[in-house]
Structure 1
Amino acid sequence: MKLTLTTFLSLDGVMQGPGTPTEDTAGGFEQGGWQVPYADEALEEYGGRWFTEADAFLLGRRTYEIFAAYWPAVTDPDNVVATRLNALPKYVVSTTLDEARWNNTSLIRTDPVKEVEELKGRPGRELQIHGSGVLARSLLDHGLIDELRLWTYPVVLGGGARLFEPGRVPTALRLVDSERTGSGCVISVYRPAGRPAYGDFTRDA
C-alpha cells in the first residue's frame, strides 16, 4: 500500500487543533478551530475523493482519540469519510493506550517503523495518515511517507505544533498537484524526491 499523509496547516505551518477549540490544547494552545471559517465545498469534495482511496488508516494516539469520539456517531451511509473510517482497519501507534474500542482498530505498541513497513507491504491502495503530527514527523524522517497532501490556509497563528519543526531530516519534495479553494486554501500534493540538492550563486559572479 502507498502511505499518504493528509493534514491541515496554517500559513506558518501550524497543524494543531484545526477543528474545534478543545480538540488539542497541548502546550497551552488556545487557537483551536482556526480552520472552521475557511471550510467550503472543496473540503468535502477533496476529502471524500481521497477517503475513497483508503484501504486502511494509520493514526497517532491523539488523532485516534479525536476521531473515535466523533466518527462512530456519524451513521449517514452517504458520508464517505464516516463510512470509510468506521469500517476499514485502523492502526494506532501508542505506548500509552490500554485498549482501542473503535471497530476494527489495532494497536501498534513497539517498533512502529518496522510495523509500518510491514503494513505498506500488504496488498491494497492507500494506508492513510490524517493529522497525527508526532507519528507523521517520525515517518517522514524515516522516508516512509509516499505522498503528502497539505491544505494550507491563509491564517498565521504564531504558535502551536508544526509539521515541519526544527530538527527534521532534510528532504526534497516534488510538487505533483496544486489547487486553490474558494476560501483561499491552497491544496498541495507532494512526493518525496530524495535529499535536497545545493548550489552556490556566487560561483557565477
Structure 2
Amino acid sequence: MGKIVVTAFVTLDGVIQAPGLPDEDRDGGFAHGGWTQPYVDPELERRFTRNVLAADALLIGRRTYDLFASFWPTASPEDPRAHQLNTQPKYVASHTLTKAKWDNTTVLGGDLVDAVIGLKRRYDEISVWGSGTLVPLLLRHDLIDEFLLMLHPIVLGEGKRLFPEGHQTTFNLVESTTTSRGVTILGYRRP
C-alpha cells in the first residue's frame, strides 16, 4: 500500500492559513497572508522541490485546488515543480466542484475515505499540500503516513491550524534540518 505525505508550511503556533500570498485566504478576516515570504531561501526551495518531484499523485482540497490551478498551469516550464504538478495525476476532494479544468485532475466526491484508500492502493506516494479541511479528515481515519512540516519562526496568534483539536496520534521524527533563515524542516513518519 502506498503512503500519503502531507507537506505544510506552518507557524510556531500551528497556523497554515495563507502562507504564500497576501490575498490567498482571507477567511475569518485573516490579514497575515504571505507570512512565509521573508523565510524563503535556496535550501527551503530545494526541499520543497524534492518533495514535489517524489510524489506519484497529488491529493488536495477544493481551496488548494483553486489556488494551484490558477498558478501552476502558467508557471515557467523551466520549473521542474510546474512540469511535475501539471503532468501528474491530481485528485481534488470536493462536494461542490463537478468538473476540474486543470489537466489530469479527477474530482473525488461521495465517500472520500474509500476513494483515498483506493488511491493508496494505486500509487506509491501521494502528496497532500495545504488542504486545511482535508487533512483533519485524513487524520481522523488514520490515512496520513508522513508529515513534512516547514516550521517557520513566527507566531501569528490567529488563523486556520493544521491539527484539529481532540485528535491524538504518534509519529517518529525522521528528518530535521534548519535553513539559513530559521525554518526548521521536520519529517515525521508513522511508527
Is the TM value for this pair above 0.5? Answer: yes
Secondary structure of the corresponding residue to residue 56 of structure 2: strand
Q: SS in structure 1 opposite 2:25?
A: coil
Partner of 2:182: 184
Q: Which amino acid aligns with 2:13?
A: D
> Following superposition of structure 1 onto structure 2, how do residues 148-187 of structure 1 map, counting pairs within 5 Å?
148-167=147-166, 169-187=167-185
Q: Which residue of 2 aligns with 1:95?
A: 95
Local SS of the residue matching 1:23:
coil
In the aligned structure 2, how far is the partner of 1:16 from the partner of 1:52? 24
Structure 1 or 2, whichever has the larger Rg, is 1
Look up the SS of the partner of 1:57 in the other structure. Answer: strand
Inter-partner Cα distance in structure 1 for 2:26 and 2:55: 29
Deviation at 1:165, TM superposition (A): 3.0
- The runs of at least 4 consecutive aligned structure 1 residues that moved more than 6 Å come to none
For residues 114 and 98 of structure 1, the distance between their equivalents in structure 2, rounded to whole angstroms, comes to 19
Opposite residue 35 of structure 1, the aligned amino acid is T
The alignment of Structure 1 onto Structure 2 pairs a total of residues equal to 190
Q: CA deviation at 1:98?
A: 2.6
Q: Normalising to structure 1: TM-score of the pair?
A: 0.90
What's the counterpart of residue 17 of structure 1? 18
Residues 173, 191 of structure 1: 8 Å contact kept: yes
Structure 2 CA distance, aligned partners of 1:55 and 1:165? 27
User: Alpha-carbon deviations, 1:71-127, whole Å to 9, x = none?
Assistant: 100142x312101110011000000113210001000011111100000001x4311
Contact kept? 1:21, 1:32, Cα under 8 Å: yes
Q: Over the residues paired in the alignment, what is the CA RMSD in angstroms?
A: 1.0
Deviation (angstroms), 1:43: 2.3
| Cα displacement string for residues 155-174 of structure 1 (whole angstroms, at most 9, x for unaligned residues) | 0000000011323x211121
What corresponds to 1:80 in structure 2?
80
Runs of 5+ consecutive residues of structure 1 not aligned to the other structure: 194-205
Instruction: Give the Cα separation in 1 of the matches to 2:34 and 2:48.
Output: 18
Cα distance per residue 1:112-147 (max 9 Å; x no partner): 11100000001x431110111110111012110111
* Amino acid of the structure 1 residue aligned with 2:10: L
Residues 53 and 125 of structure 1 are in contact (CA less than 8 Å); yes or no, is this contact kept in structure 2?
Answer: no
**In the alignment, residue 56 of structure 1 is paired with which amino acid?**
A
TM-score of the two chains, using structure 2 as the length reference: 0.96
